[in-house]
Chain A
Amino acid sequence: QSVLTQPPSVSAAPGQTVTIPCSGSRSNIGSNYISWYQQLPGTAPKLLIYEDHRRPSGIPDRFSGSKSGTSATLGITGLQTGDEADYYCGTWDSTLSAVWVFGGGTKLTVL
Chain B
Amino acid sequence: VQLVESGGGVVQPGGSLRLSCAASGFTFSNFGMHWVRQAPGRGLEWVAFIRRDGSNKYYADSVKGRFTISRDNSKNTVSLQMSTLRADDTAVYYCAKSTMTSSGLDYWGQGTLVTVSS
* A residues adjacent to B (C-beta < 8 A): 2, 32-33, 35, 37, 39, 44-47, 49-51, 56, 86, 88, 90, 92, 97-105
Contact = CB atoms under 8 A, between A and B. Distances in A.
B58 A56 contact: no
B93 to A, nearest CB: 11
B109 A44 contact: yes
30 contacts: A32-B103, A33-B101, A35-B104, A35-B105, A37-B44, A37-B105, A39-B44, A44-B94, A44-B108, A44-B110, A45-B36, A45-B44, A45-B96, A47-B104, A47-B106, A50-B106, A51-B99, A51-B101, A88-B43, A88-B44, A90-B104, A98-B58, A99-B46, A99-B59, A100-B49, A102-B36, A102-B43, A102-B46, A105-B43, A105-B44
Nearest to A39: B44
A92 B104 CA distance: 9
Contacts of B103: 32-33, 35, 50-51
Interface in B67-118: 94, 96, 99, 101-111
B68 to A, nearest CB: 16
Interface centre among B94, B99, B101, B107 (most CB of A within 10 A): B99
Contacts of B34: 100
A104 B39 CA distance: 12
Interface string B24-43: 00000000001010000001
A33 B43 contact: no
B53 interface: no
Given A35-B103, A37-B105, A102 B111 contact: no
